[in-house]
Amino acid sequence: MRTAYRTETVRAAEAALMAELPEGALMRRAAAGLAAACAGLLPRVYGSRVVVLAGSGDNGGDALYAGARLARRGAGVTALLLGSPGEDGRPKAHRAALAALRAAGGADRPASAVAGDPAAALAGADLVLDGVTGIGGRGGLRPEAAALARAARASGAALVAVDLPSGVDADTGTVDGEAVRADVTVTFGAYKPGLLIDPARAYAGALRLVDIGLTPPAGEVAAEALQHADVAALLPHPAAESDKYRRGVVGVVAGSARYPGAAVLCVSGALRGGAGAVRYAGPAGEAVLARHPETLVHPGGPAEAGRVQSWVIGPGLGDTPGVEAVLASDVPVLVDADGLRLLDPAAVRARPAPTLLTPHAGEAAALLGRPREDVEAGRLSAARELAAAYGATVLLKGSTTVVASPDPKDPVRVNPTGTPWLATAGTGDVLSGLAGSLLAAGLAPRDAASVAAYLHGLAARRASHGAPVAAYDVAEALSGAWRDVTED
């Protein structure tokens, strides 16, 4: 599992470690890992051209020390210094690191000296190191740094961010203004939430974690991303004495005369989620049976469906009733799509059983009473706020799917799988059915949501192979995604 920590937690862990080490040892340790990662990106180090964009802080120091190591191996290294002017009129920079670069044969000059033609300063570079700002940076890049970042991106050089791309927020993943868009981010000691959450995640490129000996407190994880082994450990597995009822029954209230396909897709996801049976209670029973004859259909609605271990309600529901009756039940309930309209926070908070809400950004914005763009820019905080307001687990769908528990002590889970091809009609219906089935099989809401998002993303990759994919293709690929996880 990838675990991410807030800036204040990382800084406290760094301070504790620095107190045990000789002065400057921790920075040199980070720089050694950074230089090794950079060397691996170059066809060869000797004779390559490296440009270091160095701010005045510790990230600039890391980059300068790494530049010194590359220079000692025969690279031609030039540092462009972006710090504010010091007493001597030159930009401020980490003194010891700059001295190390010069001693290794590297050159340096003020970034202002190339402001007229930043592209020329980066022409021919094989690799550019972004050490402009660190985890304490706030807001977008200043104009001088932004011009260099654009030129670095256009140069064709490998662009490597030091700890995180300059201009992104380490704690929230927001990007307020221009930021470095890296090919690779080499981060030290621990992941930061912004590296896992869009929009910042899209700026980070491939992630590489350098172990520098940090030990942040386990209880202060801010965000986490499951991996195959974590998902495999959570998946339900039937025992020898299991029957369809012992494995759990999921009830689905979805679809309408206008949108029968939503019911079919939701049931498709539910049938592949580990529960032993699916009860469909709604007006699209004929369409459901035509595709899935194994479904138990109850046209009279949820009141006639019999006992279930979870309910899924909302996809394609339109004005079909049933939300109040389902919320009044004593089993876990997943609410999606049309079920989220006019949802009463007090009624959800008063439920004796858990509730899982699965909105996309537009639906979350409506529930929170704020603009959609605010939710998309701050996905982590929006999911947290929604979970707290409704006393429910929230799976916020989107470019980064985020799962937040109503307990603020639980880290937010960030889904690392998926593909932009999932942004197509009906895939959310499949996800709802899958997550509801996992609830019926006994998973806690946070685990059911996280595992469902993970498998759903893997299935989309399997089905698409880089090409457009339809929702039913994703449903059919779920069994293969399940095998991928358990057999890895």
Q: Would you list the domain boundaries of the chain?
A: 2-224, 228-487
Does the annotation flag 262 for ligand binding? yes
Q: Is 130 annotated as a binding residue?
A: yes
- Give me the sign of the Cα torsion angle 309, 315, 321, 327: positive
Residue 400 is labelled as binding a ligand: yes
Residue 163 annotated as binding? yes
CA nearest 311: which of 346, 273, 268, 355? 355
Q: Would the annotation count 399 as a binding residue? A: yes
Show the CA angle centred on residue 209, arms to residues 143 and 36, nearest 5°. 85
In angstroms, rounded to a whole number, what is the distance separating the alpha carbons of residues 282 and 254? 6
Q: Which fold has domain 2-224?
A: Rossmann fold (3.40.50)
- How do the residues of the chain divide into helix, strand and coil, expressed in percent and rounded to 5? 40, 15, 40
Q: Does 401 belong to an annotated binding site?
A: yes
C-alpha of 118 from chain center: 33
Reading the block at residue 160, the tokens are 């490597």
Task: Kindly state the DSSP code that residue 188 receives in the 8-state scheme.
Answer: E
- Is 488 marked within a binding site? no
Residue 281: what pLDDT? Answer: 95
Could you tell me which CATH class the domain 228-487 is placed in?
A: alpha beta
Ligand-binding annotation for 171, yes or no, is no
Residue 330 annotated in ligand binding:
no
> Is 295 assigned a ligand-binding role in the annotation?
no
Q: What are the beta bridge partners of residue 2?
A: 225
Q: Write down the pLDDT at residue 88.
A: 75
Q: Does 58 carry a binding-site annotation?
A: yes
Contact 24, 61 (CB under 8 A): no
Task: Check the annotation: does 398 bind a ligand.
Answer: yes
**CA-to-CA distance for 441 and 16, rounded, in angstroms?**
44
- How many Å from the N-terminal Cα to the C-terminal Cα in the chain? 15
Residue 433 annotated as lining a ligand binding site: no
Residue 421: phi and psi, rounded to 5, are -65, -15
Which residue is associated with the tokens 């031609």? 76
Annotated binding residue 44: no
397 annotated to bind ligand = yes
Q: Give 444's Cβ-side CA count (13 Å radius).
A: 11
Predicted pLDDT of residue 133: 93
- In this structure, what are the phi and psi dihedrals at residue 189, rounded to the nearest 5 degrees? 80, -45
Q: According to the model, what pLDDT value does residue 7 have?
A: 95
User: Is residue 50 within 8 Å of residue 126, measured between CB atoms?
Assistant: yes
Query: Any binding-site annotation on 417?
Result: no
Q: Is 219 annotated as a binding residue?
A: no
Please state, in angstroms and rounded to a whole number, the distance separating the CA atoms of residues 298 and 256.
Answer: 14
- The predicted structure's pLDDT at residue 437: 97
Does residue 393 have a known ligand-binding role? no
| pLDDT, mean of each 10-residue run, the chain (488 residues) | 95 95 94 97 97 95 98 98 82 94 97 93 96 88 95 96 96 93 97 93 96 92 96 90 83 95 98 95 95 94 90 93 91 97 92 97 96 92 96 96 96 93 94 98 97 97 90 96 92
Mapped onto helix, strand or coil, the DSSP state of residue 161 is: strand
Give 36-39's long-range contacts (Cβ < 8 A, gap of 24+). 37/160, 37/184, 37/186, 37/208, 37/210, 38/66, 38/70, 38/127, 38/129, 38/160, 38/186, 39/70, 39/73
Residue 98 is predicted with a pLDDT of 97
Q: Is 61 annotated as a binding residue?
A: yes
Continuous H helices in 78-162: 95-103, 118-122, 143-154
Report the distance separating Cα 400 and Cα 412, nearest Å: 12
State yes or no: 136 annotated in a binding site: yes
pTM reported for the whole predicted model: 0.91
- Does 466 carry a binding-site annotation? no
Query: Does the annotation list 244 as a binding residue?
Result: no
- pLDDT for 83 equals 84
